[in-house]
Structure 1
């Protein structure tokens, strides 16, 4: 796998996740208590044997760049391994990246420097488990010029993706980018074959098409421009996603909206979650902060007594549940929930303190927020809308560091 250069696109604004992306790029948004979204793509790389990785960053990149330096410095440059984040260099123009393909084109100097045979393009904002080594083997078997990661997706939800039609050998014969009426799979009229935004190119082929695209008036996007321009003239194949999560249903999530983000986190605390964080066969790594163990105090098991307890929840290091109840929730590091507070179906991020007698339900509370005592969130959505972001499904979102009055 040393002949593959991996480029991870991690510069998206993530506007639909606002306010969680007010101060960070979408790949840097916390997920599952202790991870960042980009950790899942990076863990796939490590588990697939990929050790030459460049993360292309752009908007609000400080948090993401710091996370990569702190948590992913496990590569050994003495044996040719590396990972580093690369901001826009403006070597070709004064523009920001105009699209996914333009992001790679503007940084082609690094490809010329490394001289890989193949370039793997990944998105840094999806949650899934995939062995890219098998995708590489598929390219070799089919003698493809490019292989596109593909997943069978419900037809009604396929309009947000590139939709493919393939022949019996999995060669792509048609591509519709975000069609209003997606084409169903011949074998299953309820599903479409959709692009995962994963592309494995032969380097020479990629360079040729990036150069041609740079001269055209296009959106400079892989899904809208590069891949459609190759169909017919190049060997473009679809690799059907093989899920290393090893559940009955394949797991691949965009978590591009606040509701989708909340739902994906809530899945993690179910008895048998769709996505398994505890799989030693396919470990997910991240930056491990220096926090003490989680602590639960007060066990006054009598009427009116205080009981520090967490049920069906993820509680990260450094948390203190002091005479409070946490249920069906995800707590990041160093969260404190004080006497007789109740937190239900919520995502609480790092360094949040919840005051005594608070009631929190169906909320996402970003880092560094102090909730004053006796505050209620999620019980009166009209009142919550006057102070916070409230989604269509009624999830209340409190911004990072927001100051609340008691």
Structure 2
């Protein structure tokens, strides 16, 4: 039997998520609830676990309590085995400072790599919505024989200006890596498409250590994985692009193959939810061949609809009660209640929300435990909404955690 390489996965989960405020006012971005029954971090952890990678360190920093609790409860690998999913806080191991960038986060956690002695290190972000088999990327990294691999997703060139972009030759070797270029480089086989970096990397372990230690000495560096470490490998001809479209996830359909969303803004967060609720969803949560794992709803009973309460083209999580209300084109997370005569339309409702009698909620995101009083109206009068709440550029109203409307 062929022995498998020793792989350590590091998940970068320390970002503040300022553009998702107020959803990140009280929690780290990877801990933001998503899709009714999940948190954002569940997607990357599910991808790693489904691929068989069970040595995972999650590097946390800002407002990490709910994230740490979620990992300990939902991702506990019990038993006397070498497998673990561990939340690792900033520890100031290399001086009295917190993380000064994603590369510095790994430098300050090099003890994890030294202790594990892996052959390869996976470094993935914690706040994207997608399915991927990381084992296929690791296999291609090994076959390419280079020190670094960067996952690239194909996007139209005119849209690639918002991303870190990859220029590669016909063999897949990266020749240039540029952040948000005005003229994005084309892929080798299609002049109309560009490779955008997904923020997912695979490294040969010793090469990563060498790069991080050299970067640590550079006072001009921002100590960022995408901005500093990847260019380090590109300059040496040691970076390879992994085409995300080549990744074949069991159970995926032609419609959701290659789906990936950076939900870093309120509008992208909202749109990713809308992607899931169509009859033939762009992102299919119901693929049991590659499940997205979570246990947030384990203690709730099934959803209940009484007094002619209805939900159309919507996803309704366990514990919800729709009593005489109407829900359309929406996602209701666990333990949300919609009362008699209330209307919820085109909205994302997070756990524990209460929507009172006759209330109207349209094109809105209601954070955890929000209470909408009887007859209150959200998402109808933009001018009034802007006086009370955050309204995104796309017109999505966001009501922060624990507020009463």
Instruction: Give the TM interval when normalised to the shorter protein.
Output: over 0.9
Correspondence for 1:124 = 126
Check the 8 A contact 2:330/2:347 in 1, yes or no.
yes
Alignment of 1:317-396 (within 5 A): 317-396=318-397
Q: In structure 1, which of residues 131, 134, 137 is the aligned counterpart of residue 136 of structure 2?
A: 134
1:94 — aligned with what? 96
The alignment of Structure 1 onto Structure 2 pairs a total of residues equal to 395
Contact 2:347–2:365 (CA under 8 A) maintained in structure 1: yes
Q: Relative to structure 1, is the Cα distance of residues 147 and 77 closer, same or farther in structure 2, using a 3 angstrom cutoff? A: farther
1:204 aligns with 2:209: no
- Residues 1:292 and 2:329 aligned together: no
Structure 2 residue 275 is matched with structure 1 residue 273: no
- Residues 60/223 of structure 1: CA separation in 2 closer, same or farther (3 Å cut): same
1:100 & 1:224 partners in 2: Cα distance?
10
Do 1:129 and 1:243's aligned partners in 2 also have CA atoms closer than 8 Å? no
| Contact residue 2 and residue 50 of structure 1 kept, 8 A | no
Mark the runs of 5 or more structure 1 residues left unpaired by the alignment: 299-306
Conserved 8 A contact 1:2-1:51: no
Q: How far, CA to CA, are the matches of 1:314 and 1:320 in structure 2?
A: 13
Q: Which moved more, 1:242-251 or 1:52-61?
A: 242-251
The alpha-carbon deviation at position 156 of structure 1 amounts to: 2.0
Measured on the aligned residues, the alpha-carbon RMSD in Å equals 1.3
Q: Which residue of 2 aligns with 1:26?
A: 29
Shift of 1:76: 4.4
Deviates more, 1:77-86 or 1:269-278: 77-86
1:394 positional shift: 1.3
TM-score (norm 1): 0.95
- Secondary structure, aligned partner of 2:341: coil
Report the counterpart of residue 182 of structure 2 in structure 1. 180
CA deviation after TM superposition for structure 1 residue 232, in Å: 4.0
State the secondary structure of the residue aligned to 2:189.
Answer: coil
Q: Secondary structure at the match of 2:194?
A: strand
Residue number in structure 2 paired with 1:46: 49
Instruction: Please list, as runs of the form range in 1=range in 2, the aligned pairs for 1:57-76 lying within 5 A after superposition.
Output: 57-73=60-76, 75-76=77-78
Aligned to 2:19: 16
Structure 1 position 243, deviation (Å): 5.2
Structure 2 length normalisation: TM-score? 0.95
- How far the C-alpha of 1:275 sits from its partner, in A, is 0.5
Whole-angstrom CA distance in 2 between matches of 1:280 and 1:385: 41
User: 2:230, 2:5 → 1: CA distance?
Assistant: 25
